[in-house]
Amino acid sequence: MSIVSGPEAHEEDEFRFHTGRQAPTGVQDAIEFVDVHKAFGRNKILRGLNMGIPEGRISMILGPSGTGKSVCIKHMVGLLYPDQGDVIVHGQSVPNMHDDELFEMRKRFGVLFQDGALFGSMNLYDNVAFPLRQHTDKGEDEIAEIVNRRLREVGLANANDKMPNELSGGMRKRAGFARALVLDPDIVLFDEPDSGLDPVRTALLCELIQEIHEENGGTYVVITHDIMSARRVAEHISVLWRGRIVESGPAEQLFESDNPFVRQFLSGDSQGPLGME
Amino acid sequence: MVRSVADRAFSPARNVLEEVGDMMILTGRTIASALRPPYPYGGEFVSQFLFAVRLCWFPLLISTVAFGYGAPGLQAANFLVIFGALDRLGGFFVLASIREFAPFVTAIVLAGVAGTAITADLGARKIREELDALQVLGVDPVKNLVVPRFLALMLVTGLFNIYALIFGIFGGVLATLTNGAPLGPFWATFFTNASTTDLWGSVLKTTLFGAIIAIVCCYKGMTASGGAEGVGRAVNQAVVIAFLGIFAFNYVFTQTLLATHPEIQVIR
Ligand SMILES: Nc1ncnc2c1ncn2[C@@H]1O[C@H](COP(=O)(O)OP(=O)(O)OP(=O)(O)O)[C@@H](O)[C@H]1O
Ligand SMILES: [Mg+2]
């Protein structure tokens, strides 16, 4: 690091490793970020983000803590609006949608929030059944069958009538996971499905993600800090840092990348461009 | 440079104005959303109504009797006794209790008890991202959370005002009895001064107080940020803003009512 550096030099420094290279994936993008800027007050989070999420693949967004991965996900479903730029889902611009269109679009999404976001006033069963009751005319029997299957898959078959505040963080995560998937959505967004889980459950959850993806298809976006998970399930990887993409492309290519930041991050090395700051 | 100084100097004022503007917008959206079908908020409305009643009936009972007995009751009675005109206490209670004290005590208790509960509840849901999850699941928080609270609080405040009136006047009765005076003259001056305008004015005013409390408390809850501490801050601000709103609105309402109905200014 040079001590004397003007603002411009600093600017250049900051994005030194951001080649922004988007290796071709061979399929269309389901979700596209076009030059998105987003700031909270003075705190600039997204700074000209260009990112494509390929249709029908399991994509992972990796990046250091606090770079705005969760903020990204909220842009995709219209919970946050960009200050500048555009977010496009299946060819439609999300920030320009009317409320009605937005609600229609959201039905095709399944979202697992970082902390599960279960409804505190309902037990687990009702939480997972909620989207079905909200959006389908299925009878209670059919709903029970689907909900019980999903809860079994995530290992919560015996916790049906527990309230969210009686559960551990990992259990809430898994319940949120089940709820995100009950409607078999076209696009599924998982915000750190594997954080707070033990290593075995993480591995099992990764398998589950793959299984369900094979069964139902659809575009999956997974945010994770766990490189092992990334190696296991990612088909496409985007590395996000300082509000921009460092590099993105098919997983095999990213793991072979010679970009110093990507290498450091994907190998979890303490030596490299990323420090504590 | 000038701009940044101006920004720093005026930004608190601007933020307050912005918030007030946002609350106006929320009011508009709430009313529009309440009227436009579908109407999925019935159940929530009933539960919020019962919740507010359960929470408020006892504090309100104590406050109104004690307040009616203590402030306008004993003190005005002391004053009137000097003139040998204790029978006038009844007439004074129309002015004091119906027009001002009952609505105020109702609004303060409702804001402090039910309003804070609403802000804390919505704030906690906001922090846990439940509100985001609801929106993603296609549930409009305005229609399903704000509208039922808005309607329930208006109804509860309006009804509780009558309840507060009754117990406030009971405080006046107690004060008369404490002075060893008969109740007949109290009721006589009470009913010559009371008019239906006073009654509907009072109920309408408190109903609108309820609307103010609901909007402020819902807004503050739904925009809480910054963890558990943020919820605490939101609750605190909600009470302060609700009180300010109520006081300001009360001034406008009373002035308008007196100007449009000059006959109620005459003391008989
Ligand atoms: N609603 C908000 N208001 C203000 N600041 C926010 C808001 N949401 C996020 N931020 C800020 O944006 C930054 C990025 O947050 P975000 O949650 O997206 O990080 P992240 O990449 O998901 O991190 P992690 O991996 O730790 O979950 C943080 O500094 C946070 O303080
Ligand atoms: Mg996050």
Q: What are B51-88's pLDDT values in tens digits?
A: 999 999 999 999 988 888 887 788 888 888 888 888 88
Neighbouring CB atoms inside 10 A of A20's CB total 14
Strand partners, A191: A223
**Mutate which of A36, A38, A45 to test ligand 1's pocket (most atoms within 8 Å of Cβ)?**
A45
When scoring B48, B121, B128, B145 by the number of chain A Cβ atoms within 10 A, the one with the most, hence best to mutate, is B128
Q: What is the CA radius of gyration of chain A?
A: 19
Cβ contact (<8 Å) for B128 and A135? no
For chain A, what is the domain count? 1
Helix (H) or strand (E) holding B268: none
3-class state of residue A243 by DSSP: coil
Return the minimum-mean-pLDDT range out of A64-78, A108-122, B64-78, B241-255: B64-78
> Tokens 């996000």 label which residue?
A240
Mean pLDDT confidence for B238-264 = 92
- Going from the Cα of A84 to the center of ligand 1, the distance in angstroms, rounded, reads 18
Could you tell me the sign of the dihedral formed by the alpha carbons of A197, A199, A200, A203, in that order? Answer: positive
Domain boundaries, chain B: 2-265
Q: Alpha-carbon Rg of chain B, whole angstroms?
A: 21
CA pseudo-torsion sign A266, A267, A268, A271: negative
Nearest-Cα distance to chain B for A107, in Å, is 7
Does residue B112 carry a pLDDT above 70?
Answer: yes
Residue A154 has pLDDT above 90, yes or no: no
Does residue A232 belong to any structural domain of this protein?
A: yes
Q: CA A156 from chain center: how many Å?
A: 23
Q: How far apart are CA B38 and CA B42, in angstroms?
A: 11
In this complex, do A113 and B124 lie within 8 Å of one another by their Cβ atoms?
no
Q: What is the pLDDT of residue B45?
A: 93
pLDDT in tens, B34-53: 998 888 888 999 999 999 99
Peptide bond just before A193 cis, omega within 30 deg: no
**How large a percentage of chain B has pLDDT more than 90?**
52
Confidence of residue A1 (pLDDT cuts 50, 70, 90): very low
pLDDT in tens, B196-209: 888 999 999 999 99
Q: CATH number for the domain including A81?
A: 3.40.50.300
User: A114 CB less than 6 Å from ligand 1?
Assistant: yes
Distance CA B245, CA B252 (A): 11
Per the domain annotation, does A188 fall within a domain? no
Task: Give the list of residues 6+ apart from residue A1 with CB closer than 8 angstroms, or none.
Answer: none
Residue B45, amino acid? F
Nearest to A254 by CA among A227, A223, A272: A227
- Is the C-beta atom of B225 inside 6 A of ligand 1? yes
In a domain, A256, yes or no: yes
Residue B35 has a CB neighbour count (10 Å cut-off) of 9
For residue A191, tell me if it sits in a domain: no
Cβ proximity of A256 and A237 under 8 Å: no
Outline where chain A has alpha helix (H): 7-14, 69-76, 99-106, 124-135, 140-153, 169-181, 199-216, 227-233, 251-255, 260-267
> C-alpha distances in angstroms, A46 versus A67, A231, B45, B127?
8, 26, 40, 22
Burial of B265 (0-12, 13-18, 19+ CB in 10 A): exposed
Q: Do B138 and A134 make contact, defined as CB atoms within 8 angstroms?
A: yes
pLDDT band at residue A9, thresholds of 50, 70 and 90? very low
Q: Is A117 on the interface with B (CB under 8 A)?
A: yes
Question: Rounded to the nearest whole angstrom, what is the distance from the C-alpha of residue A68 to the centroid of ligand 1?
Answer: 5
- In this prediction the ipTM stands at 0.83
CA distance A49 to A245: 6
A51: phi then psi, degrees, rounded to nearest 5:
-145, 140
Q: What is the mean pLDDT of chain A?
A: 86
Whole-number Å distance, alpha carbon B64 to ligand 1 midpoint, is: 47
**Which of A9-23, B156-170, B185-199, B200-214 bottoms out in mean pLDDT, i.e. has the lowest?**
A9-23
Kindly identify which residue of chain A lies nearest to residue B138, measuring between CA atoms.
A103
Assigned domain for A54 exists? yes
For ligand 2, a single-atom ion, the residues with CB < 5 A are: A 70, 114
A198-222 mean pLDDT: 89
**Ligand 1 site, residue B132, Cβ cutoff 6 A:** no
Place of tokens 């494509």: A52
Flag whether pLDDT at B118 surpasses 90. Answer: yes
- Do B141 and B218 contact (CB within 8 A), yes or no? no
Q: How confident is the model at residue B127 (pLDDT cuts 50, 70, 90)?
A: very high
B23-28: long-range pairs with CB below 8 Å, 24+? B23/B215, B23/B216, B23/B219, B26/B142, B26/B146, B26/B215, B26/B218, B26/B219, B27/B211, B27/B215
Determine whether B51 is exposed, middle or buried from the number of CB atoms within 10 Å of its CB (0-12, 13-18, 19+): middle
**Closest listed residue to residue A234, CA positions, set A248, A215, A245:** A248
| A38 is a domain residue | yes
Model pLDDT, residue A267: 81
Show the domain range for A79. 18-105+224-269
pLDDT for B110 equals: 94
Subunit contact A117:B138, Cβ cutoff 8 A: no
Contact A117 B128 (CB under 8 A): yes
Contact residues on chain B for A131, CB-CB shorter than 8 A: 137
A 10 A CB-CB count for B263 gives 8
CA end-to-end span of chain A, whole Å?
A: 13
Residue whose C-alpha is closest to residue A201's, from A164, A169, A244, A159: A169
**Interatomic CA distance for residues A211 and A135, integer angstroms:** 24
